[in-house]
Amino acid sequence: MVRAKEMKDTDFRSDLMQGKTAILLFEKASTRTRVSFETALFHLGAKTIFMTPAESQLGRSEPLKDTARVLSRYNDCMIVRTFGQEKIDELVRYGTIPVVNALTDQGHPCQVMSDLLTIYERTPDLSKVRVAWIGDGNNMANSWIEAAIYFRFELFMAFPQGYEPDKSLLTLALQAGAKIFCTNDPQMAIDGAHYVNTDVWASMGQEAEQKRREKAFAGFMVDEQLMKYAAADAKFMHCLPAHRGEEVSEGVFESPASIVFDQAENRLHMQKAILEWIFS
Amino acid making up residue 9: D
Binding residues for carbamoyl phosphate: 30-33, 57, 81, 108-111, 239-240, 267
Band of residue 205 on the pLDDT scale cut at 50, 70, 90? low
Binding residues: 30-33, 57, 81, 108-111, 139, 199, 203-204, 239-240, 267
- Do 16 and 39 belong together in one domain? yes
Confidence (pLDDT) at 55: 79
Q: Is residue 238 part of a domain?
A: yes
- Do 144 and 231 belong together in one domain? yes
Q: Is residue 118 part of a domain?
A: no
Residue 34 annotated to the active site: no
Q: Is residue 117 part of a domain?
A: no
- Do 60 and 127 belong together in one domain? no
Q: Is residue 253 part of a domain?
A: yes
Residue 243 annotated to the active site: no
- Do 132 and 102 belong together in one domain? no
- Do 233 and 250 belong together in one domain? yes
Domains of the chain: total: 2
Peptide bond into 256 cis (omega under 30): no
Mean pLDDT taken over the chain: 95
268 backbone dihedrals φ, ψ, rounded to 5°: -60, -50
Gap between the Cα atoms of 73 and 96, Å rounded: 8
Judging by beta carbons within 10 Å of its beta carbon (0-12, 13-18, 19+), is residue 178 exposed, middle or buried?
buried
- Do 5 and 77 belong together in one domain? yes
Long-range (24+ apart) CB contacts under 8 A made by 257-262 are 257/227, 259/118, 259/235, 260/236, 262/118, 262/121
- pLDDT tens sequence across 159-184: 999 999 999 999 999 999 999 999 99
Q: Is residue 99 within 8 Å of 80, Cβ to Cβ?
A: yes
Residue 194 annotated to the active site: no
- Do 48 and 164 belong together in one domain? no
Judged by phi (left if over 0) then psi (alpha if -120 to 50, else beta), residue 115 lies in alpha
pLDDT exceeds cutoff 80 at 145: yes
- Do 87 and 9 belong together in one domain? yes
- Do 128 and 211 belong together in one domain? yes
Residue 136 annotated to the active site: no
- Do 14 and 137 belong together in one domain? no
Domain that holds residue 70: 1-107+267-279
The domain that holds 185 is classified in CATH as 3.40.50.1370
- Do 93 and 138 belong together in one domain? no
Q: Where are the beta strands (DSSP E) in the chain?
A: 21-26, 47-51, 77-81, 99-103, 130-134, 154-158, 179-183, 195-198, 235-238
Q: Is residue 274 part of a domain?
A: yes
Q: Is residue 115 part of a domain?
A: no
Q: Is residue 183 part of a domain?
A: yes
Q: Is residue 141 within 8 Å of 157, Cβ to Cβ?
A: yes
Gap between the Cα atoms of 221 and 70, Å rounded: 46
Judging by beta carbons within 10 Å of its beta carbon (0-12, 13-18, 19+), is residue 92 exposed, middle or buried?
middle
- pLDDT tens sequence across 206-259: 667 888 999 999 999 999 999 999 999 999 999 999 999 999 999 999 999 999
The residue annotated as part of the active site, out of 106, 111, 263, 271, is: 111
pLDDT exceeds cutoff 70 at 59: no
Residue 239 annotated to the active site: yes
Residue 43 annotated to the active site: no
Q: Is residue 158 part of a domain?
A: yes
Gap between the Cα atoms of 184 and 162, Å rounded: 10
Gap between the Cα atoms of 175 and 206, Å rounded: 31
- Do 100 and 218 belong together in one domain? no
